[in-house]
Amino acid sequence: MTEDEILSEFRASDALLQGHFLLSSGRHSGHYLQCARVLMNAERAGRLAFALGQKIPRDIRNQIDVVVSPAMGGIIIGQEMGRALGKDAMFLERPEGTFELRRGFRLEPGAKVLMVEDVVTTGLSSREAIEAVKREGGEVIAEVALVDRSNGSADPGVPFFPLIHINFPTYAEDEVPEALAAIDITKPGSRKA
């Protein structure tokens, strides 16, 4: 898929929101990509996952044993990546604030894992999820995401292959422009703290 085709999928599903958003990373933005909207259509989700799978170099793709994604945002695209790659897909949860496998999910010792995210802004959630996979006995060999909104600065610590790069400015709490600060804050992400 071309960048225009990918953006057209987001536009068609009203997944690009404008306002004042407090992102899961703790940063503020005037734009938010609601990937759940773009993924709510199974055919669209499948197309995006297939395109995302094509971004992974063949040598890495051939090593993948299992797909893991962090809840909540990564669950749907993680499942679709599992389907696209012909691999099982599972997800991490934060019942006590730290990612862990639950629901009977487990990794075989040394399992080669593809981490799948919906949106990466700072890479913090990715690094936390990768650390959780390590604690669970697996090894994350690469990460993919539908959207890299970090302007190329996110470093999950493994090879990273986003479907698209989008550069919406984000701001620390003390850097929020006056016009943005005047808009009521919406917190659309899945992280509580």
Reported as a single tens digit per residue, the pLDDT across 48-71 is: 999 999 999 999 999 999 999 998
Q: Residues near 26 by Cβ (< 8 Å), separated by ≥ 6?
A: 172, 173
Torsion over CA of 119, 125, 127 and 133, rounded to 10 degrees? Answer: -100
pLDDT band at 81 (very low <50, low <70, confident <90, very high): very high
Buried b (16+ CB within 10 A) or exposed e, 107-124: beeebbbbbbbbbbbbbe
pTM for the predicted model, two decimal places: 0.83
Q: What is the pLDDT of residues 161-183, one digit of tens each?
A: 999 988 788 899 999 999 999 99
Distances (CA, A) of 155 to 12, 125, 139, 162: 30, 11, 16, 12
